[in-house]
Amino acid sequence: MILANVFFFVCLDEATEINDYQGFPFNTQNTSFSYLRGIFKYSGKLVCSPLVVPQKMHRILLAVVALVLLDLTACLSRNDVPPAPESTPDKKQIFEHANKLGAAHNELQIEGYIRRNDLDSMQIDGRGMYYKVWGTPIGPRPKEGIQVAIAYTAEMLDGTPCDEADTIAPLEVILGKRKQTVGLEELLLHVAPGQEAIGIVPPHLAYGVAGRGNEIPPNTSIVYHITWLRYTKQ
């Protein structure tokens, strides 16, 4: 096909008469002929026409055929064809992988904070929050729907303060309303009046990937210290 396209296709003018090819000396001793399928239009019909190739040209063309076939064989035998690309992961897979890496990084940071502050006796809940409660309770632990007032401080793992409230101007929280971080409200469910607590809240229970303005960067764990709690409405 390659040689036919390069050397042998003959474009015949539509006005060419088919009789021009009649009587051509196809069987002479001095001329050898090679037939290819040349297609041209004549009177609305498709006609096959022979192409005359002299003997010397015939040998040259055979040599060219051999060279082209050798070149094609060499190209096909090379191993420089690049491998097929691996399937590209979709956005969901990329997001899940990034979340796993982020969670592992946050876990290492939290474990480092626990070691530095000798908090090895902390418990961990099912959502990844570490907490420790101490003191003598003077009432039951609150439940969702209960309103409490608390004094507390909040800081990042590097010690940078980010929130606080004291007993004079406590923070009032209705548990379950989610007007505070999820981690803070879940921590308060473990603390009864008369007790204190510390909770290390991972980013997904704090301010997540958004952070809080210029105060708290994205993917930041928060450490809450609860120093006082009382019921305001039950």
Q: What digits encode the pLDDT tens for the residues 207-224? A: 999 999 999 999 999 999
State both tokens at 163. 């929130």
In DSSP terms, which residues pair with 200 in a beta bridge?
130, 223
In angstroms, rounded to a whole number, what is the distance separating the alpha carbons of residues 40 and 16?
9
Which pTM was predicted? 0.61
Q: Which residues contact 39 (CB under 8 A, 6 or more apart)?
A: 46, 47, 48
pLDDT tens, position by position, 146-191: 999 999 999 999 999 999 999 999 999 999 999 999 999 999 999 9
CATH class held by domain 99-233: alpha beta
Distance CA 149, CA 213 (A): 25
Specify the pLDDT at position 57.
58
Which of the two residues, 11 and 154, has the higher pLDDT score? 154
Contact indicator for 197, 186 with CB cutoff of 8 Å:
no
Residue 46 pLDDT exceeds 60: no
Region(s) of the chain under CATH 3.10.50.40: 99-233
- The residue ranges of DSSP E strands in 61-212, in sequence order, are 123-124, 130-134, 147-156, 161-165, 171-174, 196-201
At residue 71, what is the residue type?
A: D
pLDDT band at 1 (very low <50, low <70, confident <90, very high): very low
Across residues 95-104, what is the average pLDDT?
Answer: 80
- Give the pLDDT score at 99: 76
